[in-house]
Structure 1
Amino acid sequence: MEIFERLESEVRGYCRDWPTVFDEARGSHIYDESGTQYLDFFAGAGSLNYGHNNPELKSKLLDYLVGDSVVHSLDTYSTAKREFLATFDEVVLQPRGLDYKVQFPGPAGNNAVEAALKLARKYTGRDTVISFTNGFHGMTLGALSVTGNSMKRSGAGVPLGHAATMPFDNYMDGQTPDFLWLRSLLEDSGSGLDKPAAVIVETVQGEGGINVASTEWLRGLADLCQEYGILLIVDDIQMGCGRTGPFFSFEHAGITPDIVTLSKSISGYGLPMALTLFKRELDVWDPGEHNGTFRGPNPSFVTGTAALNTFWRDGEFQRATEAKGEIMQKRLAELAEEFAEAGAVARGRGMAGALAFEREGAAEALSAEAFRRGLLVETAGPNDEVVKLLPPLTTSEQELERGLEIIAESARATVKIPQLA
């Protein structure tokens, strides 16, 4: 690994937790150069909902490349873009009654968030955006301004303004009515809070530790936004594309956001791609007002189209995901009960799951032990106190059970219960 140590920046992160050189990947498994197999419950931080090198998607991609088809096109028209848009409209938007325009803002989730924030401010003529405690929306300056994590925010090097933070669901004492503080600020001309352009929210906070917003809280937020003329942005970058069951994570709550950001698994293959979706009346962009060199990723259009056709033409895939999600959440709840004296709490929705620990270092130790036993899981939360599970949605029930058993074995090996310590 000398070449990495000598040349790659100290900013690298995941490799410090998984000190091996990966070489091959298929389905729910990834292999290092020595041939050691790992069950992957990380899935490219949610970019591989359909697993590694899905054969249906790979076949379409190879055919496209072999045919000398257009790879790079900025925002010019291409056959691959036309096919993606038509399929996305037919398979995703129309069945859900969503009349969204589609913007290709650039290759990554932070590009989608930056476009959403700029559009909201342009449309409303207002500056402030409301975000929530422990939210995460990306590492560029606009996205960092609505991100809660102090370590990530400090890396900006400049003040992060035009944003205000409010408590996420269940952040307070459980007795204070939802949105009491926000509503009070909005109604009081002396509060110091300018009328916001938008609210940005994750229905399940991924980086923040798999904090799940209830359907009631999300509906209340949507109602408040409508009442005060504030745009509602749902960041579905990690929890979209079926991670919580339905294609969009907000479908559980029966709400219709004004703006939605998608990335990660929208290409279906781990290729860079992002979308900013917004209601038709919000499309006030001037031509070229928000652009980027890599906003026409035709290979991603091809695999994204293949993913929609393969997995989302009917409800079978969603039903299978929800069934596996129930298995996952039930097993995590059992583990939380087993380790209750160590402060373990189960969290999650669908196939986004977590075990949170009160004891410092417990999640990190469990994750390291899981790696030694052949499972990739990451930690999350403001203090890395959460073991976060994002297996590919295509993971078989047998693979899912094996991964959860490794989590259990790793917890028993590392998490100390006070009376036994």
Structure 2
Amino acid sequence: MLTNIFETFESNVRSYSRSYPVVFQKAKGSILYTDNGKEYIDFLMGAGALNYGHNNEYIKRSLLDYMQGDYIMQGLDMFTVAKSEFITAFNQHLLEPKSLHYKFQFCGPTGTNAIEAALKLARTYTKRSNVVAFMGAYHGLSLGSLALTSNQYHRQVAGVGLNNVTFIPFEQNGPEGFDSLAYFEMMLEDSHSGIEKPAAVILETVQAEGGINVASAEWLAALYAICKRHDVLFICDDIQIGCGRSGEFFSFERAGITPDIVVLSKSLSGYGLPMSMLLIRPDLDIWKPGEHNGTFRGYQLAFVGGKAALEFREAEGLDAAVQRKASYVTRFLEDEIAALDDRIEVRGLGLMQGIDLSRFRDPLMAKKIAQDCFKRQLIVECVGREDKVLKLLPALTIEDDVLERALEILRDACLQHIGQKALS
């Protein structure tokens, strides 16, 4: 199929299709198929919306059975069997075993809508307007979430001022020796800091679009303690690193903390169906009816898929599988890629890994390698400042042989552009 129909009629705002200019038709597991049958290993996975792979059989059966039965598809926020079963399963599989106590708020279908809801709730509850976010953050591109997103490329098209947000450096991306947490606490305690006390702090425990910047468990726990001392809400954006990608369902578990609000979306439905929600500390639930709503906050198929995904992950022992695969990926990246050149840095958590090439003189090094990977039938994207980090986001269910083949493609593409300095 020719791509000119898209280039003629689709808006210039399209992005991924510029990096992968072929027409895809089918997908299964970790493989995408073009309209002429060419196969690509997918290390993008719907930007994290397909943790369980394309067309997961277990989840698909649940969805097809539900549709075959002519059950309700659109329910706004009315009571439905599908919603009840999802809430029950989420409690039984996740919250109760982890001793977590939250209320559920189902938002519009996108992660950015859930971020907007979290901001509104935090500001209404605390009666404060300022929010602290982190340099390198990406929380979405609707107006409130855009104010929390640090990338100037996205911010410049807001059309209005992006206010009521104070940015401080993330753990790894401040000046050398700079203690962002000490600065944050000083900001809260100094009556002359000039910064309004925030309603909340919001962060990704791993900045995905920011360049795979991983906050340590110790740093997260210390940040959480500061928030508690100063009555500042702690909001965890688990949209991309959550739903099992870190090796646990929630990425904050390793820090032993309990966020006041957790934002979930992307792989929550298990099948790439649009769904987002907040987990809210019960006493924060001060909403009045309809204060935040949306037509598609009751997408029943997403509830069905989400419930099936929870069943699937437990039956498959997915957390342990992710941890095993993550260890393999980390070893491969360190032994086969980082060893190529001492300017390469690899980092990540679970099955979200990054290869940082920002120390190379060529500013397009990462993009060239990603393009080479695509020619070799592996899809990876570039993230971080000036897109200098290769981001690896395989399905959590990827087969060992497919994972090995993908990493070998990646190594060969790196060799092509970087050489074999350290191994020669």
The bucket for the TM-score relative to the shorter chain is: over 0.9
Task: Choose which of 216, 219, 222 in structure 2 pairs with 1:220.
Answer: 222
1:247 aligns with 2:264: no
Aligned counterpart, 1:293: 295
Aligned counterpart, 2:377: 374
**Contact kept in structure 1, 2:337 and 2:411, CA below 8 Å:** no
Aligned counterpart, 1:50: 52
Aligned counterpart, 2:169: 167
Deviation at 1:336, TM superposition (A): 4.3
* 2:402 partner amino acid: E
Deviation at 1:61, TM superposition (A): 0.5
Deviation by residue 1:95-149 (Cα, 9 ceiling, x = unmatched): 1111100000110100110000000000000000000010100010100111111
Deviation by residue 1:163-205 (Cα, 9 ceiling, x = unmatched): 0001101223442334121111111111111010000011000
SS of residue paired to 2:327: helix
Give me the whole-angstrom Cα distance separating, in 1, the residues matched to 2:315 and 2:127: 39
* 1:350 partner amino acid: G
**Could you say what the CA RMSD is over the residues aligned between the two structures, in angstroms?**
1.5
**Contact kept in structure 2, 1:335 and 1:408, CA below 8 Å:** yes
Gap runs ≥5 in structure 1: none
Map 1:94-173; keep pairs closer than 5 Å: 94-173=96-175
Aligned counterpart, 1:2: 4
Give me the whole-angstrom Cα distance separating, in 2, the residues matched to 1:337 and 1:62: 45
Gap runs ≥5 in structure 2: none
**Contact kept in structure 2, 1:147 and 1:153, CA below 8 Å:** yes
Deviation at 1:418, TM superposition (A): 8.7
Deviation by residue 1:300-326 (Cα, 9 ceiling, x = unmatched): 111110000111368x21111100001
SS of residue paired to 1:89: helix
Deviation by residue 1:284-340 (Cα, 9 ceiling, x = unmatched): 0000000001100101111110000111368x2111110000111111122443332
Aligned counterpart, 2:353: 353
Aligned counterpart, 1:337: 338
**Contact kept in structure 2, 1:329 and 1:349, CA below 8 Å:** no
SS of residue paired to 1:312: helix
Identity %: 47
**Contact kept in structure 1, 2:26 and 2:33, CA below 8 Å:** yes
Equivalent residues, number:
418
Give me the whole-angstrom Cα distance separating, in 2, the residues matched to 1:92 and 1:123: 26
Query: More displaced, 206-215 or 177-186?
Result: 177-186
Deviation by residue 1:340-376 (Cα, 9 ceiling, x = unmatched): 24x2110101100010102310110011000110111
* 2:392 partner amino acid: L
Deviation by residue 1:267-290 (Cα, 9 ceiling, x = unmatched): 000000001111000000000000
- Structure 1: 4+ residue segments shifted above 4 A: 416-420
Give TM-score scaled by structure 2 length. 0.96
1:363 aligns with 2:372: no
Deviation at 1:67, TM superposition (A): 1.1
* 1:356 partner amino acid: D
SS of residue paired to 2:288: coil
Deviation at 1:416, TM superposition (A): 5.5
Aligned counterpart, 1:281: 283
